[in-house]
Amino acid sequence: MIHLAGPYLLAAVLAGLGTYGVLARRNAVLVLIGIELVLNAANVLLVATSAAGGDRWVAGNVLALFVITIAAAEVSVALAVVLAVFRLRGDIDLSRATEPSGSER
Amino acid sequence: MTSYDVAFAAVGVIAAASGLLSVTTRHVVHAALWLVVSLGSLAGCYLVLGAEFVALVQVLVYVGAIVVLVLFALMLTRAPIGPNREVSTSPTHRVLAAVLGAGVTALLCAAFWPLVREAPPVRREETHTSALAEQLFGTWVWPFEVLSLLLLVALVAALAVSRIAGAAEDAAVEEQLEAPAQDVEPA
């Protein structure tokens, strides 16, 4: 027997922390860390729904696995973009990223 | 409070606290390492919730691959070792971000509150890996295959992005090498 209030509260807290991380960071890689926290909040919700029973086709668990896969794909592309920006501009500071990266050279 | 509630609260508090540290610390590398703690304890949460396979995949893919990629990118972008004020925005901006983050948490709590208010504890359903595999390769097989295609596309895209940037950088270096020579010639 388990109360669902705990997982729901944890998901809400993680989503808030992730939002803060996305908005308050200047380093592009640290923004990605915030995005990971939001994705994990979604996963906690999915798994909690599955643990409560009553979902057909084990949907909560399968969708959590899909979210993890999509997060892996997203991170690989995002880090390639970050590294490309670093090679062109010499830094990955998002608050200075007002101009297209090619024109600053 | 059942024993599962206590176990979930223990790992959940660790996950939330290390998540907070990973978005607030001034050490760039520490942020990634706190993310490891947060994702690892979330795997513990999944175990408490009876999703053993998701917990294993969380450790393998998130902690094993994604965090390593993040650390790799931090090293390649010459992340400063030690505390650095430059990684976060200005204090005003951070206060606004904190207000928005708290707003998101409050909104989600308000949305979930009717679901859990006075709700009795539910019987914890364990998802066994064999049942999960049966559904994954039965009901969900087409989404699963499309996801493998997505991973392939992401891989190729990452390669293409880094190659295009590399070509642009080479062109820039060549321009810089040629430019002084052209300046000298008229003189």
The model carries a pTM of 0.87
Q: pLDDT (tens digit, 9 = 90+) per residue, B98-152?
A: 999 999 999 999 999 988 887 788 888 888 899 899 999 999 999 999 999 999 9
Domains in chain B: boundaries: 3-139, 140-187
Alpha carbon distance B4, B21 (integer Å): 26
Q: Which residue has the higher pLDDT, B79 or B18?
A: B18
Q: Do B158 and A88 touch (CB under 8 A)?
A: no
Which residues in chain B have their CB less than 8 angstroms from residue A66's CB? 143-144, 147
- Tell me the backbone φ, ψ of residue B122, rounded to 5 degrees: -95, 155
Alpha carbon distance B86, B30 (integer Å): 15
Looking at domain A5-92, which of 2.40.10.120, 2.60.40.420, 1.10.287.3510, 1.10.240.10 is its CATH number? 1.10.287.3510
Domains in chain A: boundaries: 5-92
Query: Topology of B3-139 in CATH?
Result: Four Helix Bundle (Hemerythrin (Met), subunit A) (1.20.120)
Q: Tell me, yes or no, if B68 comes closer than 8 A to chain A by beta carbon.
A: no
- The DSSP call for residue B119 is P
pLDDT score recorded for residue B182: 54
Distance from CA of B181 to the nearest CA of A (A): 18
Q: Is the pLDDT of residue B183 over 60?
A: no
Q: Which of A50, A62, A88 sits opposite B169 (nearest CB)?
A: A88
Residue among A22, A25, A88, A103 with most chain B CBs within 10 A, to mutate? A25
> B5: which residues sit within 8 A by CB, 6+ positions away?
A2, A3, A6, B121
ipTM of the complex in this document: 0.87
Which residues in chain B have their CB less than 8 angstroms from residue A72's CB? 61, 65-66, 151, 154
